[in-house]
A and B are shown apart, each in its own frame.
Chain A
């Protein structure tokens, strides 16, 4: 299979802020590729550069074989985008939004009507097609946007946080749509998300993005295997003591301390729990709780960045809040 997307040391700076700091990756044809990371990690900026909305500061990329700097119109013809923020005209009906999109992509009359009907069917909006979009629910709007992104049969479809702000049930639905269209149309999908489960469930391969860089890349299984087994999570108030006691033990692949927890990556975790408890007693560290789970992508993210996505989220919200306050002043 050939490469649909080739990204080479792509970089974008906003003043002194390095939003995207030299990232490189390849996406194969027909693949579902995910960029996973906290908000503000540089995922959307990456997508904006790949979709020719934002020029890169340096580096380059090819999408569907076309250079994003030199051959913008060919790139635009080959891609579809579902933006993070809604991008529909709410004062038009669903069908009109699709029609306008089709005309903007220079589709012929006959082909247009046919495609619009089949897309409306795919996203199950046939009976709402002639209702003004402002009367749609959040999930319906998102579905319409997905349908619109597919209308001109792009080779590559970008989905920027496709399920942000949707309730869990609608999110599940959306995942099914995304899988269905990947299977049916063999369209290459590249999606950004800060939902661990979404990346795990949907993506063939995932790249972890943090502070504008890719810190790890692989299939979800590969990534989880890097931790070497199960995760034993110990909650204790004397985490320093326990860390000292556990350090140097050969059966621990990795150890990570984060907000009152010590996470250990070990093989056959259930057999190691007694040992951990013994060591804790020896060093006088009081254990509040102890749990064992198969590693999730969240654990892997923690391993590579030293933070969970949710922790980063918090700090991101704080920065955004201060930014908003500044703007309103």
Chain B
């Protein structure tokens, strides 16, 4: 694999600059998690307890997982935009490998997705969410990175294969919602039929949400090392597929 650090750096910097400049967009993407936490979290908080935790404690890591999933997959649209507006061509005629372009994209997208998730944690605290310890946030950031990497790669795969916006929307939501519902993000899978539970075990987001829950609240249902290992493997596989798909994509 040919590593072009310059290309990786530029694409990362581009995403970060755009993120910092688009304040309204950042606020917009925080609204959805906020509604979830206020609507479901506070709404069910007095009615529902899951294990030893209050519903809000259960939900917040799930909402973080959700916002990571949605923003990550949507980042595949960036490929479509760049294709549409020709910037993709400008990158691809430079003497840099396409793998470097994929890594740069993932790095940039993961950075902004993690920043956004930290903001979600910051919003959750005044709602009554308590961190188990300050150091736990660091472990949570690691899980955020892994989740973001996995699903940004998935978004890039879709972006490389699908050429039009409508098709992209249709197909990604076909994938996104099952991934979300089958991840323990808003309710535990334990009460579901066996087949649904099995499906949740092949969903990388299940391990991501569990890891976040373990890191932030200390109540994971699986060992954190297992969660991290599964996600690590999943993200590596997804990056490789994304690099392959991007290698094959033709620029109009």
User: Which A residues are closer than 8 A to B by beta carbons?
Assistant: 51-54, 73-74, 76-77, 79, 81, 83, 85-92, 96, 100-101, 103-106, 148
B14 contacts A100, CB within 8 Å? yes
Residue in B17, B85, B91 whose beta carbon sits within 8 Å of that of A96 in the complex: B17
Residue in B21, B86, B93 whose beta carbon sits within 8 Å of that of A91 in the complex: B21
Chain B contacts of A106 at CB under 8 A?
6, 95
With the chains together, A76 CA to B21 CA distance in Å? 32
Using A77-B95, A86-B85, A104-B96 as known contacts, list a sample of 20 further A-B pairs with CB atoms less than 8 Å apart, ordered by residue number in A.
Answer: A51-B93, A52-B93, A53-B89, A76-B93, A79-B93, A81-B89, A83-B89, A87-B85, A87-B89, A87-B90, A89-B87, A90-B85, A91-B21, A92-B14, A92-B17, A101-B90, A103-B10, A104-B10, A105-B95, A148-B90
With the chains together, A81 CA to B88 CA distance in Å? 13
Q: How far is the CB of A29 from chain B (nearest CB, A)?
A: 21
Chain B contacts of A89 at CB under 8 A?
14, 85, 87
Q: When each residue 1-18 of chain B gets 1 if its CB lies under 8 Å from chain A and 0 otherwise, what string results? A: 000001101100110011
Q: How far is the CB of A302 from chain B (nearest CB, A)?
A: 31
Q: Which of B14-39 contact A (CB under 8 A)?
A: 14, 17-18, 21-22
B86 contacts A85, CB within 8 Å? yes
The 6 closest A-B pairs by CB, nearest first: A87-B86, A104-B94, A76-B95, A87-B90, A73-B95, A85-B86
A86 contacts B17, CB within 8 Å? no
With the chains together, A19 CA to B95 CA distance in Å? 26
Q: How far is the CB of B72 from chain A (nearest CB, A)?
A: 20
Q: When each residue 211-252 of chain B gets 1 if its CB lies under 8 Å from chain A and 0 otherwise, what string results? A: 000000000000000000000000000000000000000110
With the chains together, A89 CA to B95 CA distance in Å? 19
B50 within 8 A of A: no
With the chains together, A98 CA to B18 CA distance in Å? 16
Q: How far is the CB of B54 from chain A (nearest CB, A)?
A: 41
B92 within 8 A of A: yes
Q: How far is the CB of A16 from chain B (nearest CB, A)?
A: 18
Could you tell me how many residues of chain B have their Cβ less than 8 Å away from some Cβ of chain A? 23
**Contacts A52-B93, A53-B93, A88-B87 hold; do A104 and B251 have CB atoms under 8 A apart?**
no
Total A-B contacts with CB atoms under 8 angstroms apart: 64
Chain B contacts of A104 at CB under 8 A?
6-7, 10, 91, 94, 96
**Which of chain B's residues has its CB closest to A55's CB?**
B250
Identify 18 residue pairs between A and B in the complex whose beta-carbon atoms are under 8 Å apart, listed by A's number: A53-B89, A53-B93, A53-B251, A79-B93, A81-B90, A86-B86, A87-B85, A88-B86, A88-B87, A90-B85, A91-B21, A92-B17, A100-B13, A103-B10, A104-B10, A104-B91, A105-B95, A106-B6
Q: How far is the CB of B181 from chain A (nearest CB, A)?
A: 33
Chain B contacts of A77 at CB under 8 A?
95
Chain B contacts of A101 at CB under 8 A?
90, 94
Chain B contacts of A100 at CB under 8 A?
10, 13-14
Chain A contacts of B21 at CB under 8 A?
91
With the chains together, A83 CA to B88 CA distance in Å? 11
Q: How far is the CB of B132 from chain A (nearest CB, A)?
A: 39
Chain B contacts of A83 at CB under 8 A?
86, 89-90
Q: How far is the CB of A66 from chain B (nearest CB, A)?
A: 11
Residue in B17, B87, B89, B94 whose beta carbon sits within 8 Å of that of A105 in the complex: B94
A91 contacts B87, CB within 8 Å? no
Q: How far is the CB of B209 from chain A (nearest CB, A)?
A: 32
Q: How far is the CB of B238 from chain A (nearest CB, A)?
A: 25
Q: When each residue 56-95 of chain B gets 1 if its CB lies under 8 Å from chain A and 0 otherwise, what string results? A: 0000000000000000000000000000011101111111
A54 contacts B6, CB within 8 Å? no
**Which of chain A's residues has its CB closest to B18's CB?**
A91
Q: How far is the CB of B186 from chain A (nearest CB, A)?
A: 34
With the chains together, A91 CA to B250 CA distance in Å? 24
With the chains together, A151 CA to B13 CA distance in Å? 20
Chain A contacts of B6 at CB under 8 A?
103-104, 106
B18 contacts A87, CB within 8 Å? no
